[in-house]
Structure 1
Amino acid sequence: MTAPKILLLPGWQNSDEAHWQSRWEALHGDHRVEQHDWMRPLRGDWSARLEEEVLAAPGPVVLVAHSLGCILVAAWAAHSGHTAKVRAALLVAPGDLERDDLRQMIPGWAPILRQPLPFPSLMIAGQDDPYCEAARSRQMARDWGARFVDAGARGHINGESGLGDWPEGRALLNELLKDK
């Protein structure tokens, strides 16, 4: 069986050097899906880039999304005919793009698509994320059919959270993939 290609899906403004996604890319050789415009993300453009990357992969893929990347996974999965290539998805700290302030900063992503994902998924979210209340993260996980892991007081689970290589996150990803 072909080892899955891990596709990193950063959120708005990309993931900086201190972000666990960037560290995983350097440490594990995961592949970042580069978007054409990190500052003004368009849902259709970002979905098209993800579709291209999924189709270009020689075998199965694993989606590892952060923030807006989680919302991208839901939007892409609702419209793609190639979701069978996805072995699993790790969804970390989704942004609540239905919140007024975020909807104005990042227009065109609301409403958040809430269909169950057609592949196994795990969401990790914090209790004190400034971009999504804990109850909203839990509701998105339920709507998407994702198992939920409470990360505690970790903020937005990004470079500012001081996670370093975030071995706990990698262990949860490996656990998710073990049975798939």
Structure 2
Amino acid sequence: MTRYFIVPGLGNSGPAHWQTYLEETVPDCVRIQQQEWDAPACEDWISNIDKALHGTDPASVVLIGHSLGCATIAHWYQHYKKPVKGALLVAPSDLEAPAYTFPATGFSPIPLQPFPFKTIVVASTNDEWVSFERATYFALCWNSELVNVGDAGHINAASGYGPWPQGAGLLKTF
């Protein structure tokens, strides 16, 4: 049986966010909690992923990242080298862009090594936190399938992504 682990981005995902919708509707889906959502340290966030997965067969795990959660998954894999079943990486923020001035420590540079498991990068053509070109570059480096959702902003609640059937459908491909 597949187990789904949600890895939110900066500030967590609120009640109207598609990650919350998945958490509430997909069986065996849990959110990985962080102690510090607004000024995160990469080391803490990746450690919490590893703790959350402890005792779970990695071959049954699909990680679901959004925004900073995508970079967190890349750092987690680079550090722990634990292959999982797959990862859905939605709107991976470009932490190296000048516009990204949030107090996130240790997330840059973004790891660019290919994942040895199935990954899907979902990107928008008008995301304020990552250009489509940069999201495409991440997908190429990570050996990920790229899904272009068009003009969808940051693919979050503010962009109208609460219940997101396309995202739920992508989970079925794992």
Q: Confirm or deny: 8 A CA contact 1:69 1:94 kept in the other structure.
A: yes
Select between 119-128 and 57-66 the one with higher mean Cα deviation. 57-66
State the 1:90 CA deviation.
0.4
Between the aligned partners of 2:102 and 2:147, the Cα distance in structure 1 is 29
Deviation digits for residues 62-118 of structure 1 (CA, Å, limit 9, x no counterpart): 10100000001111111114x23x101000000000012315542421111110012
Alignment-derived partner of residue 56 in structure 1:
55
For residues 145-164 of structure 1, the aligned pairs below 5 Å read 145-164=143-162
Alignment-derived partner of residue 30 in structure 2:
31
Q: Confirm or deny: 8 A CA contact 1:10 1:69 kept in the other structure.
A: yes
Between the aligned partners of 2:26 and 2:161, the Cα distance in structure 1 is 16
TM-score (norm 1): 0.91
For residues 50-129 of structure 1, the aligned pairs below 5 Å read 50-58=49-57, 60-81=60-81, 83-84=82-83, 86-103=84-101, 105-129=103-127
Count of paired positions: 172
Alignment-derived partner of residue 41 in structure 2:
42
CA change 1:4–1:159 in 2 (3 A) is same
- The answer for unaligned runs of 5 or more in structure 2 is none
What percent identity do the matched residue pairs reach? 36
Q: Confirm or deny: 8 A CA contact 1:78 1:113 kept in the other structure.
A: yes
Q: Report the AA paired with residue 41 of structure 1.
A: P
Deviation digits for residues 97-142 of structure 1 (CA, Å, limit 9, x no counterpart): 0012315542421111110012110010100001001100000010
Between the aligned partners of 2:160 and 2:45, the Cα distance in structure 1 is 28
Between the aligned partners of 1:16 and 1:95, the Cα distance in structure 2 is 18
Between the aligned partners of 2:119 and 2:107, the Cα distance in structure 1 is 21
Between the aligned partners of 1:144 and 1:167, the Cα distance in structure 2 is 25
Select between 157-166 and 8-17 the one with higher mean Cα deviation. 157-166
Between the aligned partners of 1:92 and 1:152, the Cα distance in structure 2 is 13
Q: Confirm or deny: 8 A CA contact 2:119 2:144 kept in the other structure.
A: yes
State the 1:26 CA deviation.
1.0
State the 1:169 CA deviation.
1.0
Q: Report the AA paired with residue 153 of structure 1.
A: D
RMSD: 1.4
Local SS of the residue matching 1:171: helix
CA change 1:141–1:54 in 2 (3 A) is same
Deviation digits for residues 119-167 of structure 1 (CA, Å, limit 9, x no counterpart): 1100101000010011000000101110001010110000112133101
Q: Report the AA paired with residue 7 of structure 1.
A: F
Between the aligned partners of 2:64 and 2:138, the Cα distance in structure 1 is 16
